[in-house]
């Protein structure tokens, strides 16, 4: 039987052209994504993708069926919205947050939504921008906003978490060029290509010999920094680890840029514009 997950897998693979990236968009691992594709191809009786070096491409049959899959998934999404609107406890609001949003800010944004059921999803910016289920998302800026509306950009000031072996005096302001002794931990570019490129360009300008190291998540970044192998730049004032000092970055050339985005075609009109204004205010106040 054709399911909503089959459609999600088909569309994600068509958009990402990569099994690993498509799996992250759908929110599953690569093996079940491959299994789902095989079941879908068996159901439709046609091969939908050709594997190439490091990527996959639609076959002629896949290209012909893709518009129907998008319309079918859109209809299912409308059904979910209609069902939620009839919920006596209020409609479900699905909010996406990029991992760079500090917990306190994420909580403030969720609290700014109207009463009802709020589901919060944390995922990289690239996944949030292509999700077919979210009503609102806070993503990194800049980003390509294909078919999305957007609010103003909010700048979160950042601090550097530096091993005390390098800078023993906690709280002393530092310039980026003072942080050349170790690489700065950054997340994979694929999570937010435009925003990551801006960060890398800024680092190259201010500390051309410092370099970067790619980490999978915040926990890995902290572990490397605590081991004296990296520096963490973060807007999260609650983030800390033994052996690290927190230093404000002078002139703040490396803020975290956040932006609220939403799909006009999927976001319930009841959320607009009051909820958007409240969320924008929550983002501004928590900075």
pLDDT at 90 over 70: no
Residue-level pLDDT at 124: 92
CB atoms within 10 A of CB 272: 15
Q: Got the DSSP string for 46-93? A: S--EEEETTEEEE-HHHHHHHHHHHHHHHHHHHHHHHHHHT-TT--EE
Per-residue pLDDT band for 88 (boundaries 50, 70, 90) equals very low
pLDDT at 287 over 60: no
Beta bridge partners of 246: 161
- pLDDT tens-digit readout, 188-240: 999 999 999 999 999 999 988 889 999 988 889 999 999 999 999 999 988 98
pLDDT at 282 over 50: yes
Q: Taking residues 34-58, what's their average pLDDT?
A: 88
Residue-level pLDDT at 51: 85
On the question of a common fold for 4-84 and 89-153+258-285, the answer reads no
Residue-level pLDDT at 81: 59
- pLDDT tens-digit readout, 239-270: 989 999 999 998 889 999 999 998 877 777 66
Spell out the residues 6+ positions from residue 283 whose beta carbon is closer than 8 angstroms to its own.
Answer: 105, 108, 109, 138, 154, 258, 260
**CATH number for the domain whose boundaries are 89-153+258-285:** 3.40.190.10
More confident residue, 160 or 274: 160
State the average pLDDT for the chain: 86
pLDDT at 89 over 90: no
CATH topology for 158-254 is D-Maltodextrin-Binding Protein; domain 2 (3.40.190)
What distance in Å separates the CA atoms of residue 207 and residue 246, rounded to the nearest whole number? Answer: 19
pTM of the entire structure? 0.69
- Range in 112-116, 134-138, 205-209 the model is least confident about: 112-116
What are the counts of helices (DSSP H) followed by strands (DSSP E) for the chain?
A: 9, 12
Residue 210, helix vs strand vs coil: coil
More confident residue, 80 or 189: 189
**CATH number for the domain whose boundaries are 4-84:** 1.10.10.10
pLDDT at 86 over 60: no
pLDDT at 116 over 80: no
Q: What is the residue extent of each domain of the chain?
A: 4-84, 89-153+258-285, 158-254
pLDDT at 54 over 90: no
- Range in 18-32, 145-159, 185-199 the model is least confident about: 18-32
Residue-level pLDDT at 60: 92
Beta bridge partners of 95: 120, 136
Hey, what are 134's tokens?
């979210």
**Contact (Cβ atoms closer than 8 angstroms) between residue 270 and residue 163:** no
CA distances from 102 to 32, 35, 65, 171, 261 (A): 31, 36, 41, 20, 17
Residue-level pLDDT at 278: 79
More confident residue, 29 or 201: 201
pLDDT at 272 over 80: no
């Amino acid at each position: 039987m054709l399911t909503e997950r089959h459609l999600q897998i088909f569309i994600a693979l068509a958009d990402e052209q990569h099994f690993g990236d498509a799996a992250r968009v759908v929110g599953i691992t690569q093996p079940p994504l491959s299994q789902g594709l095989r079941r879908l191809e068996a159901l439709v009786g046609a091969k939908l993708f050709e594997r190439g070096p490091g990527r996959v491409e639609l076959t002629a049959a896949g290209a012909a069926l893709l518009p129907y899959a998008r319309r079918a998934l859109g209809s299912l999404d409308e059904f979910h919205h209609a069902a939620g609107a009839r919920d006596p406890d209020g409609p479900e609001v699905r909010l996406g947050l990029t991992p760079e949003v500090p917990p306190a800010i994420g909580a403030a944004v969720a609290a700014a939504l109207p009463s009802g059921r709020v589901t919060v999803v944390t995922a990289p910016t690239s996944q949030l921008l292509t999700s077919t289920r979210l009503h609102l998302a806070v993503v990194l800026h800049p980003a390509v906003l294909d078919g999305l509306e957007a609010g103003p950009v909010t700048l979160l000031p950042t601090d550097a978490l530096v091993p005390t072996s390098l800078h023993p005096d906690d709280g002393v302001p530092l310039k980026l060029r003072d942080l050349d002794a170790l690489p700065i931990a950054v997340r994979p570019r694929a999570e937010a290509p435009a925003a990551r490129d801006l960060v890398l360009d800024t680092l190259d300008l201010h500390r051309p010999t410092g370099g970067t190291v790619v980490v999978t998540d915040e926990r890995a970044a902290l572990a490397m920094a605590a081991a004296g192998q990296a520096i963490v730049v973060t807007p999260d004032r609650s983030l800390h680890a033994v052996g690290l000092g927190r230093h404000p970055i002078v002139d703040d050339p490396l803020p975290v840029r956040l932006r609220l985005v939403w799909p006009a075609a999927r976001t319930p009109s009841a959320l607009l514009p009051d909820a958007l204004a409240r969320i924008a205010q929550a983002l501004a106040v928590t900075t």
